[in-house]
Amino acid sequence: MTMPGPEKFIWPVFVIEGVNRREPIDAMPGQSRLTADCLVEDLKPVVDSGIGSVLIFGVIDDTSKDIKGSSAYAENGVVQEAVQTVRSAYPHLVILTDVCMCAYTDHGHCGILDPDGTVNNDVTNHSLAQIALSHAKSGADIVAPSAMMDGQVGAIRAELDSSGYQDTLIMSYSTKFASSMYGPFREAEKSAPQSGDRKAYQQSYGDPKQAIRESLMDEEEGADILMVKPALLYLDIISQLRDCTDLPIAAYNVSGEYSALIASADRGWGDLKEMVRESTTAMVRAGTDLVISYWANQYEEMMTDK
Ligand code: PBG
Ligand code: ZN
The Cα–Cα gap between 39 and 37 comes to 5
The single-letter DSSP state of residue 181 is: T
Alpha helical stretches, state H, the chain: 36-48, 78-89, 121-138, 152-162, 183-189, 208-221, 235-244, 255-266, 272-286, 299-303
* Cβ of 198 less than 6 Å from ligand 1: yes
Residue 26, number of CB atoms within 10 A of its CB: 10
Residue 231, CA distances (Å) to 63, 181, 182, 219 in order: 34, 10, 12, 19
Q: Please state the rounded mean pLDDT for residues 115-129.
A: 95
**pLDDT tens profile 80-92:** 999 999 999 999 9
Which listed ligand is nearest to 198 at the C-alpha?
Answer: 1
Which ligand 1 atom is the nearest neighbour of the CA of 176? 9
Residue 239, CA distances (Å) to 129, 148, 243, 250, 289 in order: 30, 21, 7, 12, 11
Which position among 8, 65, 68, 229 bears the catalytic label?
Answer: 229
Q: Please state the rounded mean pLDDT for residues 122-150.
A: 97
The single-letter DSSP state of residue 177 is: B
Q: What is the pLDDT of residue 63?
A: 93
Q: Does the annotation count 176 as an active-site position?
A: yes
Angle at 289 between CA 130 and CA 224, to 5 degrees: 30
Domain boundaries, the chain: 6-303
Range in 66-70, 174-178, 200-204 with the lowest mean pLDDT: 200-204
**pLDDT tens profile 50-61:** 999 999 999 999
Q: What is the pLDDT of residue 199?
A: 75
Percent of the chain exceeding pLDDT 70 equals: 100
* Cβ of 258 less than 6 Å from ligand 1: no
Q: Please state the rounded mean pLDDT for residues 5-30.
A: 97
CATH superfamily of 6-303: Aldolase class I (3.20.20.70)
Check: CB of residue 91 under 8 Å from CB of residue 83: no
- 69 backbone φψ class: left, alpha, beta (φ>0; ψ -120 to 50): left
Q: Please state the rounded mean pLDDT for residues 220-225.
A: 98
Of all protein residues, the one whose alpha carbon is nearest to atom 9 of ligand 1 is: 182
Instruction: Provide the whole-model pTM.
Output: 0.96
The Cα–Cα gap between 185 and 164 comes to 33
Which position among 44, 68, 137, 176 bears the catalytic label?
Answer: 176
Q: What is the pLDDT of residue 254?
A: 98
Q: Does the annotation count 229 as an active-site position?
A: yes
Angle at 258 between CA 64 and CA 97, to 5 degrees: 40
